[in-house]
Amino acid sequence: MTTRTMRAWRVRTPGPVSTNPLEFVTADVSAPGDGEVLVAVLACGVCRTDLHVTEGDLPVHRPHVTPGHEVVGEVVAIGPGSSDEVDVGDRVGVAWLRHTCGRCRFCMRGQENLCPESRYTGWDADGGYAEFVTAPSAYVHRLPSGYSDAELAPLLCAGIIGYRSLLRADLPPGGRLGIYGFGGSAHITAQVALARGAEVHVMTRGDEARELALALGAASAQGASDPPPVPLDSAILFAPVGELVLPALEALDRGGTLAIAGIHLSDIPTLNYQRHLFQERQVRSVTSNTRADARELLALAGAHHIEVTTPQYPLDAADVALNDLASGRISGAAVLSI
């Protein structure tokens, strides 16, 4: 039998994207294993976590890994023991979370995102910067109608993580939400918050990002470390910049919560208790997501159309896309169209 091949990107040696750590290769297409499906990739989002994997901010879990974990594709083969809910020809999403043990105390109490045995697409296993990807059938997602492949891709991480961050920020009904950084995840999360009746204020660098925030309905948009015009009930930090924790905490009203959305954050400067934490202000981290988070976000996207800004790149320009992301040249959520 002739082995099928595909085009794919791999991290040759982690390092700054300016040093070309990725290589574009021809690789064999893997057959789906037990409980897996083989997916022909139609689109794959370009996430900042891909940048962290490529540049080595995250430790190597799989040498020469193929990044990418916002995958929209079509099931083309099904391995033994796969879920009966997935059929050949289905359009599905492959997201960041790809395995949990199902037995530990975190899994048993509905916190599978904290499972010590959790594994991730594009970090522990090859991801979607390729023409094909395998994924456990229990971890692929049904997708809402009314969206193109490119529009759906960012929802599978930027959307899901943003949704979990919004939950962690504990925003009261009709409350004031501050968003720090306005890239792929933030511009989706802002729309979810607005749909729920929030007043949204955006702090971010770049005129284009601020213009997008206002166009989507934000009440104000200013510089990344500038104070918002009103005290905030909650805030989410999307930019991986630890220095922004201080102005975000100072912007919170009494009892406010700051959720930090990234998997990687630069060091946080020294906090002053009175200025940053007193009056029951608090900081929460966000770690991955549960499959329930994904289902809830995708159901919400089906009920309330989310405008996803998706500058698109061909597969062979994934390195260009990551360079543009690192340099702040992307407004919205970039997508590789396969």
Domain co-membership, 151 together with 14: yes
Give the residue-averaged pLDDT of 8-26: 97
99 in any annotated domain: yes
* Nearest residue to 69 via CA among 258, 294, 241: 294
Token pair 């991801």 is found at 127
CATH code for position 319: 3.90.180.10
Residues spanned by the domain of 164:
160-285
Question: pLDDT tens-digit profile of 267-318?
Answer: 999 999 999 999 999 999 999 999 999 999 999 999 999 999 889 999 999 9
d(CA 151, CA 82): 27
Question: pLDDT tens-digit profile of 202-235?
Answer: 999 989 999 999 999 999 999 999 999 999 999 9
Domain co-membership, 117 together with 193: no
* Nearest residue to 134 via CA among 84, 92, 85: 92
For residue 67, give the amino acid letter.
P
Domain co-membership, 144 together with 217: no
For residue 174, give the amino acid letter.
G
Rounded to the nearest 10°, the torsion over CA 54, 56, 57, 58 is 90
Instruction: Give the number of domains in the chain.
Output: 2
Long-range contacts of 242-245 (CB under 8 A, 24+ apart): 242/266, 242/267, 242/268, 242/269, 243/268, 243/269, 244/180, 244/181, 244/203, 245/269, 245/271, 245/283
Tokens of 228: 């918002």
Give the residue-averaged pLDDT of 79-99: 94
Question: pLDDT tens-digit profile of 229-281?
Answer: 999 999 999 999 999 999 999 999 999 999 999 889 999 999 999 999 999 99
Domain co-membership, 47 together with 83: yes
Long-range contacts of 99-108 (CB under 8 A, 24+ apart): 99/124, 99/136, 99/139
